[in-house]
Amino acid sequence: MDLWCRIRPYLSTTVRFLHVSYIEAKNEHSGARFGLLWTPLSALIFSAMLALVFRHSDAVPAGEYFLYVFCGYVFWSFVSDSVTGSTDIIQSRLDFAIHNNLSLLGLFGKTLVDRLFEYFMNVGVLILLIAIFRLHDLGMGLLLFPPFLLLIILASLGGSYLTNIVTVLYPDMKTAVKVGARFMFFASPVFWSVDTSHGTRALLAHYNPVAYYLAAARQVFGLQPLEPVAWIVTAAMSFLVALAGYLAYRTSKSFVRNFK
């Protein structure tokens, strides 16, 4: 009961922010026939194209490969939004936030919920597709979704603040971050799979932390066998990024709002 009382305000704020995200996202697509559906539709179309072009082995059925790519792309979009969408949060949205009773931290919480809203929409479609085409894949792995969510929330929040503070201090990083994100898209197993134990792909999958997140995301939905290493690395990275973000916030909160 005590725990419930403690977490209830946070849950209530999250639901409230999700409602705000819904209204704002709906507005972005106002006038379009498919409206909000464009979010999962565009992810579906892009993933289908990637799966079609980059399926490198006939041993993997096309449908299965599409789900593999779609799951990866949905998570990649969340990662990409967390990084590229955070280069100017303080500079461009703090004024709006202050007028709406949000603190600096609240603003980052709100942008996190915006990203989660889009991610949930895509995940909903992903689960639906898996349920239709590969129901047997959906199983106990789904129980890992809440801890996975917690880990990506920590990483996203910390990463978002770090990205923003770095671009505030070094404006050149804004472009560098965008170029870096594009590079990481190709360097991460979003649309290619690690089917060998050597070569460039194996190297990238081994040293690129995003690869472990992608593996964990696919394991949740039964699209890859469970690998504890992926979860250990994901958890370690998430806590590290969250800690770095927290320390950056502690040391910069007195002056970061005063940059012009």
Partner 1 sequence: MAKIELENVSVSYYLRKQGDVSKTTERGAVGAEVIIGRRYLEVAALRDISISIQDGDRVGLVGLNGSGKSTLLKLCAGALGYQSGRVKIEGQVSPQFALGSGLRPRLSGRRNTELKCLYMGVPQSEILRRVEEVKELSGLGGYFELPIHSYSAGMRSRLVMSLLRLVRGEILIMDEWINAVDPSLHATVGGLQKQLIDRAKILILASHSRRVLEEWVDRLVWLDCGKIRADGAIGEVYEEYQRWLDERGGKKTAKLAP
Residues forming contacts to partner 1 in the complex (CB under 8 A) are: 16-17, 19-20, 23-24, 27, 30, 94-96, 98-103, 171, 253-260
| Cα–Cα distance, 239 to 251 (Å, whole number) | 18
- In the bound state with partner 1, the residue whose beta carbon lies nearer, of 226 and 248, is 248
Task: Select 27 or 42, whichever has its Cβ closest to partner 1.
Answer: 27
> What is the phi/psi pair of residue 23, to 5°?
-65, -45
- Comparison of 98 and 244: residue with beta carbon closer to partner 1: 98
In three-state form (DSSP H/G/I as H, E/B as E, the rest C), the secondary structure along 88-154 is CHHHHHHHHHHHCCCCHHHHHHHHHHHHHHHHHHHHHHHHHHHHHHCHHHCCHHHHHHHHHHHHHHH
**Least distance (Å) from partner 1 to the CB of residue 170?**
10
Compare residues 14 and 84 and give the one whose CB is closer to partner 1: 14
Greatest Cα pair distance, the chain, in angstroms, is 57
Q: What 3-state class would DSSP assign to 32?
A: coil
Nearest by Cα to 151 from 78, 102, 227: 78
CA pair distance 201, 187, nearest whole angstrom? 8
Angle at 48 between CA 115 and CA 139, to 5 degrees: 65
**Could you tell me the smallest distance in angstroms from the CB atom of residue 211 to partner 1?**
36
Closest separation in Å from C-beta 107 to partner 1: 11
Report which of 25, 210, 38 is spatially closest to residue 116, judged by C-alpha positions. 25
Nearer to partner 1, 102 or 149 (CB): 102
Give me the least distance between CB of 20 and partner 1, in Å please: 5
A 10 A CB-CB count for 37 gives 14
Sign for the CA dihedral angle at 166, 118, 124, 178 comes to negative
Give the residue with the Cβ less far from partner 1, 22 or 183.
22
Q: Which is nearer to partner 1, 26 or 182 (CB)?
A: 26
Smallest gap, in angstroms, from Cβ of residue 181 to partner 1? 24
Smallest distance, partner 1 to C-beta of residue 26, A: 9
What are the tokens at 204?
């990238």
Q: How far is the CB of 248 from partner 1 (least distance, A)?
A: 14
